Amino acid sequence: MGSMSDKVLVTGAAGFIGSHLTDLLLKLGYEVVGVDNLSAGRLENLDNALKYKSFKFVRSDILLNDNWIQESKGSSLIFHFAANPEVRHSVREPMNHYEQNLTATMRLLEFARKNDVKLFVFASSSTVYGDPERIPTPEDHPLRPISVYGATKASAEIMCQTYARLYGIKCLILRYANIIGPRLRHGVIYDFLLKLRNNREVLEILGDGTQRKSYLWVGDAVDATVRLADYALRDQGKIFVYNVGNDDWTSVIDIAKTVVEVLGLRSVKFIFRPGTPDGRGWLGDVKLMLLDISKLKEDLRWKPSMSSLEAVKATARSLAEELKMMY
């Protein structure tokens, strides 16, 4: 990707995907500046990265502070991963999502404009499609988000594309499915583990359990991310949009069964709490999500290394160990 002498800025570097991405970029020989306010991210996610001389961590809030700007000067590539990723909470706190996901992206785009950045990679989401008409959902499907989170991501995508047209900064928009793996601290698998830590007999499931979504191992996600960045840098185009997900999907009930099995628990009673009359987990929850990833597979000759359920199992094992729950 680019040349090894490139300096790379990763926002949200102490978070789940950002820290795995940082590890990979350092391994490939890049100089990396990682910015995070540690609101959700954790310094221990950067234990490996902090061993590299080529890594600099800057604790900074990209909305409220300016100290990251000086440290990030000279970066030719930006991976903008800082955000508030809690879809569920975006219904209750729309302004926070607007600021953390859209205003913060504007701050980064302005940095890119003023500092001659070559490529701006934006972590978008499958939620931009809302309840899709077509499954698997291709990139040219209309964007009709049903959550404030999804709407902030769709708006930020348009802003990135506009900056590409106006100012010539290449932009790569990655619409991730559910990304899972070690260090994850939000979403259904983490939620089930915390609940089972408190009560090993009853598990409350948000929704009717029939929600079906696609899950991708974080190692696969960051591998595809770096390869796509390399592809975008070498291509003549200005705007690149890719779905990044798995070939298959799995249901919430199967995730619940897998987590229970990994923990070696027996006779756990499942209680379903639908958040809406049609059985969603919460207002704004997309019930069925499977991305069409043929563009990614064809352009990169790439494929996921694990199925959705294999990734769920491996994640449940890793997180159970991190949470010291392996009985």
Ligand X SMILES: NC(=O)c1ccc[n+]([C@@H]2O[C@H](COP(=O)([O-])OP(=O)(O)OC[C@H]3O[C@@H](n4cnc5c(N)ncnc54)[C@H](O)[C@@H]3O)[C@@H](O)[C@H]2O)c1
Whole-number minimum distance, CB 238 to ligand X, in Å?
22
- Hey, how many other C-beta atoms are within 10 angstroms of the C-beta on 305? 12
Residues 192 and 204: their CA atoms lie apart, in Å, by 8
Catalytic site includes residue 149: yes
- Backbone dihedral angles phi then psi of residue 107, each to the nearest 5 degrees: -60, -40
For ligand X, which residue of 14, 188, 306, 314 counts as binding (CB under 6 A)? 14
| Interface with ligand X, residue 72, by CB under 6 A | no
CB atoms within 10 A of CB 141: 18
* Residues 6+ away with beta carbon under 8 Å from 304: 216, 217, 220, 246, 247
Looking at beta carbons only, is 120 or 268 nearer to ligand X? 120
**Three-state DSSP state, 243:** strand
The pairing of beta strand 178-180 with beta strand 215-217: parallel
Asked if 36 touches ligand X (CB under 6 A), the answer is: yes
Could you say which DSSP state residue 150 is in?
H
Asked if residue 240 binds ligand X (CB under 6 A), the reply is: no
Phi first, then psi: what are they for 124, rounded to 5°? -95, -165
As given in the structure block, the two tokens for residue 66 are 């300016």
Q: What is the DSSP secondary structure assignment for residue 138, as one 8-state letter? A: P
Report the residue from 1, 16, 192, 262 that binds ligand X according to the rule CB under 6 A. 16
The minimum distance between CB 317 and ligand X, in angstroms, equals 18
From the CB of residue 314, how many other CB atoms can be counted at a distance below 10 Å? 18
Contact status: 145 vs ligand X (CB under 6 A) = no
**Contact code string over 80-99 relative to ligand X, x by CB under 6 A:** -xxx-x--------------
Does the footprint of ligand X cover residue 159 (CB under 6 A)?
no
Give the binding range for ligand X (CB under 6 A) out of 29-37, 132-140, 228-236, 294-302.
29-37
Among 1, 8, 10, 17, which residue interacts with ligand X (rule: CB under 6 A)? Answer: 17
* 57, 111, 176, 242: which one binds ligand X (CB under 6 A): 176
Measured from the CB atom, is 35 or 320 closer to ligand X?
Answer: 35
**Stretch in the footprint of ligand X (CB under 6 A) among 79-87, 192-200, 285-293, 308-316:** 79-87
User: Is 114 in a helix, a strand, or coil?
Assistant: helix
Q: Which is nearer to ligand X, 18 or 284 (CB)?
A: 18
Answer for which of 108, 123, 196, 309 binds ligand X (CB under 6 A) is 123
Instruction: Please give the single-letter amino acid code of residue 241.
Output: V
- Selecting among 30, 52, 129, 149, the annotated active-site residue is 149
Report the residue from 6, 10, 18, 219 that binds ligand X according to the rule CB under 6 A: 18
Residue type present at position 99: E
Give yes or no for residue 62 binding ligand X (CB under 6 A).
yes
The interface region with ligand X, picked from 33-41, 200-208, 292-300, 318-326 by CB under 6 A, is: 33-41
Query: 106 and 82 in contact (C-beta within 8 Å)?
Result: no
Least distance in angstroms from the C-beta of 296 to ligand X = 15
Token output for 246: 């798995």
Helix, coil or strand: residue 257: helix
Largest Cα–Cα distance of the chain, in whole Å? 59
Amino acid identity of residue 128, one-letter, is V
Active site residues: 149
Residues that bind ligand X (CB under 6 A): 12, 14-18, 35-41, 61-63, 81-83, 85, 100, 104, 123, 125, 176, 178-179
